[in-house]
Amino acid sequence: MATTADIKKGLCINYNGKPFTIVDFQHVKPGKGPAFVRTKLKNLETGKLIDNTFTSGFKIDVIRVERRKYQYLYEDDLGMNFMHTETFEQIPLSKALMDNPLLLKEGMEVEVLFNADNETPLQLDLPPFIEMEVVYTEPGIKGDTSSSTALKPAKLDTGLEVMVPLFINEGDWIKVDTRDASYSERVKK
């Protein structure tokens, strides 16, 4: 058993009988009273975020996890199919394991977080940034803005829609931040 002193971002714990990962935490030592740890927890089964406060020294049940590299192959009625990059074993995974399935492209390498005790997949992590092609966007007209941060919607090759600057055109490649599915920068191809 671990205590609140062992809390760090990304740690997987068993809380109220469910698997959670620690998204954010803050140790607080008030002037009066005992210290405590404020945490933001993400339920690995539902993806729901909750806030929780642990008193200092509280015992937490850490889940032993393993990260394995997989390559996305295709999607069928069983789910999304992935291949382990070392053993070439193929497994189907549910779309519920990831935040935004429209960011996934064929051939992309991802990390799958497994519960090491019972071999169940808990979470699917994409690389922080991915490159995607803009397949449709309205043309930007010079002088069409009243501020320097004007944005327009753009549809990407996977069907995802993001807001991009006016200078982005159809056929351009952009870098997308997978944490919030937002435009990051234009990429030269």
Q: Give the residue ranges of the chain where pLDDT is below 50.
A: none
- How far apart CA 38 and CA 143 sit, in angstroms, is 47
Number of domains, the chain: 3
DSSP strand pairing (151-156 vs 12-15): unpaired
Based on the fold, state whether residues 54 and 73 are members of the same structural domain.
Answer: no
Whole-number pLDDT of residue 146 = 53
Whole-number pLDDT of residue 95 = 83
**Three-class DSSP category at 149:** coil
Sign of CA dihedral 125, 127, 128, 130: negative
Whole-number pLDDT of residue 145 = 57
CATH, residue 56: 2.30.30.30
Based on the fold, state whether residues 70 and 56 are members of the same structural domain.
Answer: no
Condensed to tens digits (0 to 9), the pLDDT of residues 51-60 reads 999 998 899 9
pTM for this entry? 0.76
CATH, residue 175: 2.40.50.140
**Three-class DSSP category at 156:** strand
Domain range for 48 = 2-62
Whole-number pLDDT of residue 100 = 82
Tokens of 44: 């690995």
Based on the fold, state whether residues 119 and 142 are members of the same structural domain.
Answer: no
- Rounded to the nearest angstrom, the gap between the alpha carbon of residue 125 and the centroid of all alpha carbons in its chain is 5
The length of the chain is 189
- How far apart CA 41 and CA 15 sit, in angstroms, is 9
